[in-house]
Structure 1
Amino acid sequence: MTCAGARVQVAPVRSRKDLKEFLQLPWRLYAGDRAWVPPLLSDLKRVLDRRRHPFHQHADVEYLLARRGGAVVGRIAAIVNHRHVEFQREKAGFFGFFESAEDDDVARTLLEVAETWVRARGMEHIRGPMNFSTNDEFASPGVLLDGFEHAPAILMSHTRPYYPGLLTRAGYVKSKDLLAYWLEGPEPPQRLVRGVARLQEQQKVRLRPLDMRHFAQEVRTVQDIYNSAWEQNWGFVPLSEAEIRYLAKQLRPVLKPELCPIAEVADEAVGFAVALPDLHQALRHINGRLWPFGLLKLLWHARKIDAARVLTLGLKPGFRRMGIDAMLYLRIFQEGPRLGYPHGECSWILEDNWEMRRGLERMGAHVYKTYRVYEKAV
């Protein structure tokens, strides 16, 4: 029980007990939320570990817990990403891993401590939630504005409906909305299929699956395209060598080459897309733990996965507006049903990325979730 009249106290995570409470808080806050998918605890521990996750090589992070009457009622991470400061040329800190009881005092106190922490390190704004950055592989940025009834797709977030109110009442304003599109299979319109095929022939674009036999080289190819494709996008920071190696290692076991097409023009790789089977459909059954029986449950339920998530797509700047994005999407939407994934999510898409949005909508996809990132001057 918490004491409603007790003062909220915020302190950094310093002990194993603190870390355990930081990790386990969502199990209490999301109890009864049928859409919530418990995160895999071993993955979350690895992400938070300053010695193991490469993000910490170029960032300062402080994990904070809020207590009231001895009970943990909230958590937050205060973040200064030095690569963001350098690349975006703005003094912006971040907050992430934000969870709070439905209590303005709890949320405001947590946020104020994070604001003070980033301001002490020279930052002029704070933005979030970011877990840790727009490149993060653990959970997407932002808090949900709608679509609460739908479970999150793999590597996407799910938050409580009262979070936007907590943030706005603490003085935060909209920074950017991120959209999740849903495509109900099994096949895109044939008129579109024929049009894309003609375009592919005219532009002399070759699509091929990811070559797992030369995985390291493929990772370098994707990194080169990704960093050039997203360079001008909101919030983008190039992936470091350590980050791309880490991300590739984490994703390799679940990659399906047919769902990771690479586009080539005159033997030059100019675009790529990556889709993953929605493992959240299986993870929701193991309560965040692989042992002692979670792994067996995971393998059992993984056989029933019927959806995939397109989590990234990139084109080199000189090859945009050629329809290559439509070719990549279409290839995934055609291969997905053949592999047992007739449905899919495409996320996240910036609200003002009209070129990508129009392409998805032509294929019959529709927005079914909106995530909002907030910011505040400090």
Structure 2
Amino acid sequence: MTDAQISIEMIKGKRGRARFVDVGRDFAAKTPNSVPQLRSEQLELVNPDKNPFFGHARAQFMIAYRKGIPVGRISAHIDELALQMPASQGFGPGTGMFGYFDAEDESAAHALIQEAETWLRSQGMTRVVGPISLSIWEEPGLLVHGQDHPPMIMMGHHPAHYAAWIEAKGYQAAQTLFTYDLDISKEFSPLIQRIVKSGERNERINIRPVRKARWDEEAEIVLSILNDAWSDNWGFVPFTPDEVAYAGKKLKTIIHEDLNMIAEVDGRPVAFMLTFPDINDPLAKINGKLFPFGWLHMLRWIKKPRGSGMRVPLMGVLKEMHNTRMASQLAFMMISAIRKHAASTFESTRGELGWVLKDNQGMIAIADTIQSAVNREYTIYEKSL
């Protein structure tokens, strides 16, 4: 049943995007354990002139109003690169997306979803997946378990009741993503230590930190391994050079060399692991506001994020090495090296791996072996239009 009191505004221009971002910020402020993000960063992500995602994608942002008061928001978007992927990998021809989903109640939720679907149909789409905000590389999925603690850097956070509202519109789960919580204050098991020491004795293997002074070159290495390693995964969309440069520039300030590793075999880069200090820690303390004094706290934190949690958002091993003993060994060696630096240099006690696809048996096996545990679960939904 349609709520006649609800109207949907199709967002246009800079002021419209600002309203869209602020509606989302208002909802986040009312959600327990949500962490306020920097408004300037959020504005940049939805700006086609700033975010290189729009170099291969188009989007329509929408706000729902009831009696002139905002009661929700949603995006409907189409990624041309995702359309070119095989349908068996999650996207493919005719597949659009929705994201940035917030709603005051079920009636507003349904009105927003219906409007997003209508827009996607008008663009020739026959299927929709979501929520994905905006790229699969940014904030994919709806948080369905794990609302009892704050998210780490670059992970979404949603009220538990959103799932029922989406499912009531005929959506079914297409994929599940996990994050894994890990105590990094203690050494790994004797088994992992033996695997790591064996690798250290192998003259063919070299595990090295990234070189921040040559960051552009290192980013290219990571990109080439990433696009190869993930190419068969569900939801894969190639990460473009422009997106790598954009992400690299934004993330460079929180890159610490000893927390990010590249593995070489016979002098050739074959694997990488990136680790970011959890910027949500200081953002929570300054309430997401740099001024008037939040920037001082952020500068101190960036220099040395003492005690912060550590998240591994991305790792990859060249596809030719998948399902080999050396691939697992390289992963354990990188994880072990990063754990030691995080615990000793930064006094960190907690790490997080993910997201990890529910059918990524290799990564799940590694997570189990290092005795980590699932702490959050995200669902990506699908529906035929």
Report the secondary structure of 2:363's partner residue: helix
Paired residues for 1:340-355 under 5 Å: 340=346, 341-355=348-362
Gap runs ≥5 in structure 2:
87-91
- In the alignment, which residue of structure 2 is the partner of 1:132? 134
Distance 1:203 1:167, change over 3 A: farther
| Of 318, 327, 330, the match for 2:320 | 318
Deviation at 1:15, TM superposition (A): 5.3
**Do the aligned partners of 2:277 and 2:310 also contact (CA within 8 Å) in 1?**
yes
Output the amino acid matched with 2:98.
Answer: F
Q: How many residues align?
A: 371
Task: Return the match for 1:370 from 366, 377, 383.
Answer: 377
Q: Can you list the C-alpha shifts for 1:269-307, whole angstroms capped at 9, x where unaligned? A: 000000011110111122232122221233456654431
Pick aligned residue for 1:115 from 99, 114, 117: 117
For the pair 1:18 / 2:16, whether they are aligned, the reply is: yes
CA offsets 1:234-290 (integer angstroms, 9 cap, x no match): 111111111111011111110011111100000000000000111101111222321
* CA separation of 1:280 and 1:134: change in aligned 2, threshold 3 A: same
Segment of structure 1 superposing worse, 368-377 or 324-333: 324-333
**Corresponding position of 2:89:** none
Letter in 2 for 1:201: R
Identity %: 29
CA distance in 1, matches of 2:35, 2:241: 30
Query: Could you tell me whether the CA contact under 8 Å between 1:188 and 1:333 is conserved in 2?
Result: no
Looking at structure 1, the residues matched to 156 and 307 of structure 2 have their Cα atoms a distance apart, in angstroms, of 19
Work out the CA distance in 2 between the residues paired with 1:87 and 1:316: 19
1:1-378 to 2 correspondence within 5 Å?
7-14=5-12, 16-88=14-86, 89-101=92-104, 103-136=105-138, 140-186=139-185, 187-202=187-202, 204-299=204-299, 303-320=305-322, 321=324, 322=326, 323=328, 324-340=330-346, 341-378=348-385
Q: Separation in 2 of the partners of 1:115 and 1:162?
A: 21
CA contact (8 A) 2:24 2:73 kept: no
Q: Is the 8 A contact 1:95 1:130 kept in 2?
A: yes
Aligned to 2:285, the other structure's residue is in SS state coil
Question: CA separation of 1:307/1:92 partners in 2, compared to 1, >3 Å: closer, same or farther?
Answer: same
CA contact (8 A) 2:31 2:158 kept: no
AA aligned opposite 2:132 = M
Q: 2:31, 2:78 → 1: CA distance? A: 32
Look up the SS of the partner of 1:372 in the other structure.
strand
- Aligned residues of 2:29 and 2:36 also touching (Cα < 8 A): no
- Cα distance change, pair 301–8 in 1 and its aligned pair in 2 (3 A): same
Q: Please give the per-residue CA displacement for 1:54-113, whole angstroms capped at 9, x wherever unaligned.
A: 011111111100001110001011101011101333321001111111x22111111111
Alpha-carbon distance, 1:203 to partner? 8.0
Segment of structure 1 superposing worse, 88-97 or 192-201: 192-201
Q: Distance in 2 between matches of 1:188 and 1:263?
A: 20
Residues of 2 paired with 1:226 and 1:203: CA distance?
Answer: 25
Q: Residue 9 of structure 1 contacts residue 67 of structure 1 at CA under 8 Å; is this kept in 2?
A: yes
Q: CA separation in 1, counterparts of 2:3 and 2:215?
A: 57
Q: How many Å apart are 1:17 and its aligned residue?
A: 4.7
Cα deviation 1:108-161 (Å, max 9, x = unaligned): 11111111111111211111111112122xxx2111111111100011111111
